[in-house]
Structure 1
């Protein structure tokens, strides 16, 4: 039986990690019909990979423009900018970015979508803002929302990254199909045989994917710029030109898992004074990844080791753009457009497509259940 594709709108879409997870690349039956992002480079990347659906601009301005038509859709997905909920911005109660769920829900209403998926930082789930979202959704005719904090590593992404997902559905309780069963497990918790008996896992789950699984086959990077004359994955596999002091710091902490505290212990003379004064916290700063563990969360400045645990497990350098993209579970075939800085933002801000694919599976089950009810 051939099913019609479900129409999808992606808001605050960035490069399109969520859309990619909902695509046929991961065996799903969704077709993007409209998308929006404020960043031109992100929109260019989205349009390069999904067709010319992404409109650049402030979503509030677009919704106020009578010339902008929101197409009909089955589902609206997206992650309203989340810095307002970040622990780094916990005192910014008046942050306007907290309220960007409102235009998100307006698109849901105007498109006639019967399902929405909102992605955000975990802090959202226990906030007053979440209660506002839930109450607003019920007024629009949605069942009570379901929410979950998910770890990307539990779904095959080689990265310990926690994200919040909220699902709303107009025609049934989405809790029947969400959250998705975990496909991978933390080896330190036990064996796959014992975990198979637990309700939140699939039968016979696999161990977490590791940094080695993701990037172990890549050669040493070449150059310091995007290489447009070579094919993926090597096009984005370039390095940096570290200062002499930076290189000495890398070489002073050669073993997996070492960090700024190890640097201070073995080479205090080249340790930044601000790190020496800061005696607690920040154990991932200037840290090396482990080969046989998942990565830490990939952020937008992964090419700066002073920002986190972004040093290669054994080479004296930070990870490359290609390595970061792979750790985020982007396939090498996905094309990123823009400068080095802009592509790094797109990679770091994205929802890991492999995690998004698990959410897409839940949504597809919801939609197929509705189709069966209608045909019964």
Structure 2
């Protein structure tokens, strides 16, 4: 196949730009990005340019404003499918993928890529998507769906995601893994938490964002924050600190003595094994979600813990900066928004290493 120099890109439901980071790394040129959340759109604009960023409801963009592009990427909101969501098939957020298909109809890309939670591939909405490829809005495209594990593509995180590649230039397979838990011929070992966050300050000096402000889209946002600006700590209670101190790497709430268990943990003897969990230095993290700053939500305690020396234990959750690095954002990425808004941007993003693997694979097939 001939290689396209700087193939053009539209990113829908772009968030702060995790997918664009990966595609940009592989030489794609963004023409348009649409993101309804203002703070996420501001972060995108800060990193990739305000002029092509549209901080609006995707349904408000008229067809004649949609440019032609080589590739469209995006992850329509997936809360209705998420294991943490309502699993409500009537959730209006689950209809937004039809807006994505409208852009495909108008822009006529050679290839489109849909990213979503792993549950999406088993949903009724996914079946409707396949039907649209059979005889509907995208009948000119051949679809290749599958669930990819980010760790298999060089990301230091065990994050499964549904990827659907649609192509009207011949069927395109999913990219083959480059890494493995137990590497075989030609595969590298999984990346680890250590490879991303080792050497950062174990006890951040501040618990607050710097007092910085920036302007995008005619309004003010907090930021633009550089990496170390979001490496701030929290102020846990004495009870929380005592709980953290009992949890070894890979452990969780089941390592706590009864006197430190909350009532709901005491009564729930099974499940939610990653709650109050501590990461391992030499393994990928589990999925970084939007509330990674709350250890009761998952395995988010810092991995440093010495079984013999309490002074060599880091009893805190990972910082926003550490979470961003585990999500494969570049160290020089900049952020806009409040603490909570930035955490949401980080947790909702596609790890850029996974996006780059898809981008590299797609680019090899473009005409």
SS of 2:337's equivalent in the other structure is coil
Alignment of 1:15 with 2:16, yes or no, is: yes
Q: 1:206-225 counterparts in 2 under 5 A?
A: 206-220=188-202, 221-225=204-208
Alignment of 1:238 with 2:232, yes or no, is: yes
Q: TM-score, normalised by structure 1?
A: 0.86
User: Quick check: which one's helix share is greater?
Assistant: 1
How far off its partner does 1:352 sit?
0.1
Alignment of 1:256 with 2:249, yes or no, is: yes
- Distance in 1 (alpha carbons) for counterparts of 2:87 and 2:250: 32
- 2:220 is aligned to none
- Distance in 2 (alpha carbons) for counterparts of 1:137 and 1:35: 24
How far off its partner does 1:273 sit?
1.1
User: Of 273, 291, 294, which aligns to 2:263?
Assistant: 273
- Distance in 2 (alpha carbons) for counterparts of 1:275 and 1:2: 55
Contact 1:134 1:144 in 2 (8 A): no
Alignment of 1:309 with 2:299, yes or no, is: yes
- 1:45 is aligned to 43
How far off its partner does 1:88 sit?
3.5
Tell me, which stretches of 5 or more residues in structure 1 are unaligned?
A: 197-203, 371-376
- Distance in 2 (alpha carbons) for counterparts of 1:31 and 1:355: 18
SS of 2:286's equivalent in the other structure is coil
Structure with more contact order per residue of length (Cα contacts < 8 Å, sep ≥ 6): 2
How far off its partner does 1:160 sit?
0.3
Paired positions, count:
342
Contact 1:141 1:170 in 2 (8 A): no
Q: CA RMSD of the aligned region, Å?
A: 2.0
How far off its partner does 1:219 sit?
1.6
Deviations 1:83-117 (A, max 9, x none): 11123346512111221111001011111222110
Distance 1:69 1:161, change over 3 A: same
Distance 1:4 1:144, change over 3 A: closer
Distance 1:320 1:89, change over 3 A: closer
How far off its partner does 1:141 sit?
4.1
Q: 1:114-193 counterparts in 2 under 5 A?
A: 114-138=110-134, 139=136, 140-174=138-172, 178-187=173-182, 192=183
Tell me, which stretches of 5 or more residues in structure 2 are unaligned?
A: 213-223, 305-313
Contact 1:142 1:171 in 2 (8 A): no
- Distance in 2 (alpha carbons) for counterparts of 1:252 and 1:132: 48
Contact 2:150 2:160 in 1 (8 A): yes
User: Of 81, 99, 106, which aligns to 2:102?
Assistant: 106
How far off its partner does 1:2 sit?
9.0
- 1:340 is aligned to 339
